[in-house]
Amino acid sequence: MAKKQVLVACGAGIATSTVVNGAIEEMAKEHNLDVDLAQIKIAEVGSYVDTADLLVTTAMTQKDYPFPVINARSFLTGIGTEDTKKEILTALQK
């Protein structure tokens, strides 16, 4: 399976994306997935359109991208985290 580039974005690219970035890193290790994580601001997503395979974000986005976009606010609330993890894993295993 080819290495996937995963964008992990929040408003400032610092706080909430760090929480999600750590969770994805852990999931990738557990499932032996080769991922390249890029922790960024949501405003920077456009510059990765040609290289990214997945966007996981805690920020609001209404733009369409040529890759799946997964809302990860559940990592902040603790509600629905397992469902979000499954959604991320499914996207990474494609």
pTM equals 0.92
Q: Classify residue 16 as exposed, middle or buried by CB count within 10 Å of its CB (0-12, 13-18, 19+).
A: buried
What residues form DSSP beta bridges with 37? 6
Q: Which CATH number is correct for 4-93, 3.90.870.10, 3.50.50.60, 3.40.50.620, 3.40.50.2300?
A: 3.40.50.2300
Q: How confident is the model at residue 1 (pLDDT cuts 50, 70, 90)?
A: low
Look over the chain and give the mean of its residue pLDDT values, rounded to a whole number.
92
pLDDT of residue 15: 86
Contact assessment for residue 30 and residue 24, using Cβ atoms and an 8 Å cutoff: no
Q: What is the pLDDT of residue 58?
A: 94
pLDDT digits (tens, 9 = 90+) for 73-83: 999 899 999 99
**DSSP structure string for 21-63:** HHHHHHHHHHTT--EEEEEEEGGGGGGGTTT-SEEEESS----
Catalytic residue among 6, 9, 10, 45: 10
Q: Is 10 a catalytic residue?
A: yes
Percent of the chain topping pLDDT 90: 79
Domain-wise residue ranges, the chain: 4-93
Q: Which amino acid does the sequence have at 44?
A: E
Higher pLDDT, 69 or 1: 69
Question: What local confidence, expressed as pLDDT, does residue 62 receive?
Answer: 85
